[in-house]
């Protein structure tokens, strides 16, 4: 089985969502001239989309699904609904995106699976949205932007994870997000390059929070995929977190095991972009350091442009069986 754990569907303009919004919301958008959360994490940069792609199912089929003979591909829609501070707009747009994903992508292409978009700043509302759409088993994952205004391990977010576990959904922590606070702990950087390279720190901060808050103790069935965040940073991050935990475990007594053990058991990583060491001979040790090929999931990140992954990462496990084992709704 071949599973592409990250392909993208792009909403070309907010009007695309009008068929899935009620009349008052259409009026709200038209009167305000609001163009939707366009400050998504992808400027028109060379790391972003191939020209003219991402908005068409036909392109996705021709450029990603067919050439790779993909059995299933998980569609992620990076639409930063959490950037809108009006809570009702946040909810309405998340619903519209999910309904659009069903009608325009899932219903038209049987190979596709999708991630549920949620108003992530509002855990109770997010859980309601998950409950609303999760009966459709083509939704295999919950999309959480890795950038957030509070770390996801905090108790505030429990309703989201309860809902994910209730419906056997993986939580996909995805590159990007627009929560309003700066992307670094030291303020706003000047360049997109910084935000792009610095996204790894957001993944680190989220995993750290999830582990030390005891999220995996509380929800033993919880599974998290780090999507589009790389994985080469994982070994030194876990060395440090394990060391800190040994010194300070008494502060978080509900955690019973080394942080690295929780991560190995509960977390997977997609392989695009990989940010690999320049020396190809180093890759084998890196894969061992992250916990073996079992923790890696193939992803094309279509339509974003990346270097081709090295063949060592195209093993049967990484290409599909890891995902089939990890995603309760795939396989």
Partner 1 sequence: MTIALPEQASTQPVQTALIDCDIHNSLPSEATLDKYLPERWRQHREAFASRAYHGLYYPLASQHAARTDAWPPSGMIPGSDLGFLREQLLDRWGMQYGVLLPLLSAGKQLNLEWGAAIARAVNEWQLAEWLEPEPRLRASIVVPYEAPDLAVAEIERVAKLPGFVQVELESRTHEPLGRRKYWPMYHAAAERGLPMAMHFGAQGGWPITGVGSPSFYVEYHAGQLTAFQDQVISLVTEGVFEQIPDLKFVLIEGGFGWLPPLMWRLDRAYAKLKAEVPHLRRLPSEYIREHMWFTTQPVEEPHEPRDFQVMLDDLAMDDRIMFSTDYPHWDFDAPDAAIPTSVAPELRRKIMAENARALYRL
Contacts of 198 (CB under 8 A, 6+ apart): 183, 184, 189
Sites for partner 1 among residues 254-283 (CB under 8 A): 260, 273, 275-278, 282
CB of 120 to partner 1, least distance (A): 11
CB of 238 to partner 1, least distance (A): 8
Nearest to partner 1 of 114, 199 (CB atom) = 199
Nearest to partner 1 of 40, 148 (CB atom) = 148
Tokens of 276: 């690999």
Contact letters for partner 1, residues 26-65 (x by CB under 8 A)? -------------------xxx------------------
Residue among 319, 271, 246 nearest 68 (CA): 319
Pick the binder of partner 1 from 22, 35, 184, 316 (CB under 8 A). Answer: 184
Pick the binder of partner 1 from 49, 232, 287, 296 (CB under 8 A). Answer: 232
Contacts of 323 (CB under 8 A, 6+ apart): 1, 3, 5, 72, 268, 297, 298, 330, 331
CB of 298 to partner 1, least distance (A): 19
Determine the Cα–Cα distance for residues 240 and 123; give it in Å rounded to an integer.
Answer: 30
Determine the Cα–Cα distance for residues 286 and 280; give it in Å rounded to an integer.
Answer: 10
CB of 134 to partner 1, least distance (A): 25
Nearest to partner 1 of 251, 308 (CB atom) = 251
Residue among 298, 305, 287, 303 nearest 323 (CA): 298
Contact letters for partner 1, residues 118-147 (x by CB under 8 A)? ----------------------------xx
Determine the Cα–Cα distance for residues 321 and 305; give it in Å rounded to an integer.
Answer: 24
Q: Residue 231 to residues 145, 150, 243, 285, 331: CA-CA distances in angstroms?
A: 17, 22, 20, 13, 24
Q: How many residues bind partner 1, per CB under 8 A?
A: 69
Sites for partner 1 among residues 298-327 (CB under 8 A): 307
Pick the binder of partner 1 from 197, 221, 314, 325 (CB under 8 A). Answer: 197
Q: Which runs of E-coded beta strand occur in 119-234?
A: 139-145, 170-174, 224-227
DSSP codes, 218-273: H-TT--EEEESS-STTHHHHHHHHHHHHHHHGGGSTT--S-HHHHHHHHEEEE-SS
Helices (runs of H) and strands (runs of E) counted in the chain: 12, 8
**Does 179 engage in binding with partner 1 (CB under 8 A)?**
yes
Tokens of 134: 């999760």
**Would you give the end-to-end CA distance of the chain in angstroms?**
8
Pick the binder of partner 1 from 55, 104, 128, 189 (CB under 8 A). Answer: 189
CB of 100 to partner 1, least distance (A): 27
User: Which of these segments, 26-34, 85-93, 208-216, 311-319, binds partner 1 (CB under 8 A)?
Assistant: 208-216
CB of 277 to partner 1, least distance (A): 6
User: Which of these segments, 3-11, 73-81, 163-171, 225-233, binds partner 1 (CB under 8 A)?
Assistant: 225-233
SS3 73: strand
CB of 299 to partner 1, least distance (A): 16
Residues that bind partner 1 (CB under 8 A): 45-47, 146-154, 179, 181-194, 196-198, 200-202, 204-206, 208-209, 212-213, 230, 232-233, 235-245, 247-249, 251-252, 260, 273, 275-278, 282, 285, 289, 307
């Amino acid at each position: 089985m071949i599973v592409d754990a990250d392909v993208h569907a792009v909403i070309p303009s907010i009007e695309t969502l009008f068929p899935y919004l009620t009349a008052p919301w259409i009026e709200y958008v038209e009167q305000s001239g609001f163009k939707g959360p366009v400050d998504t994490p992808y400027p028109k940069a060379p790391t972003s989309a191939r020209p003219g792609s991402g908005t068409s199912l036909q392109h996705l089929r021709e450029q990603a699904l067919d050439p790779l003979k993909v059995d299933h591909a998980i569609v992620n829609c990076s639409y930063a609904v959490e950037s809108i501070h009006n809570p009702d707009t946040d909810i309405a747009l998340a619903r519209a995106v999910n309904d659009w994903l069903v009608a325009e992508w899932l219903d038209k292409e049987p190979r596709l699976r999708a991630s549920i978009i949620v108003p992530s700043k509002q855990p109770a509302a997010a859980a309601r949205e998950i409950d609303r759409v999760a009966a459709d088993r083509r939704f295999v994952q919950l999309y959480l932007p890795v950038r957030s205004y509070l770390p996801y391990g905090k108790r505030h977010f429990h309703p989201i994870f309860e809902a994910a576990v209730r419906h056997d959904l993986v939580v996909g922590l995805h590159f990007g997000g627009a929560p309003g606070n700066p992307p670094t702990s030291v303020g706003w950087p000047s360049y997109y390059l910084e935000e792009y390279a610095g996204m790894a720190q957001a993944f680190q901060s989220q995993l750290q929070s999830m582990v030390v808050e005891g999220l995996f103790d509380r929800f033993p069935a919880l599974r998290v995929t780090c999507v589009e965040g790389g994985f080469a940073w994982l070994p030194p991050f876990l060395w440090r977190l394990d060391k800190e935990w040994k010194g300070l475990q008494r502060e978080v007594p509900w955690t019973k095991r080394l942080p690295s053990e929780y991560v190995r058991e509960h977390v997977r990583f997609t392989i695009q972009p990989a940010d690999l060491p320049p020396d190809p001979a180093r890759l084998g040790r890196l894969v061992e350091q992250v916990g073996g090929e079992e923790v890696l999931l193939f992803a094309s990140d279509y339509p974003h442009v990346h270097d081709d992954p090295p063949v060592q990462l195209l093993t049967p496990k990484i290409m599909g069986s890891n995902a089939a084992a990890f995603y309760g709704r795939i396989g």
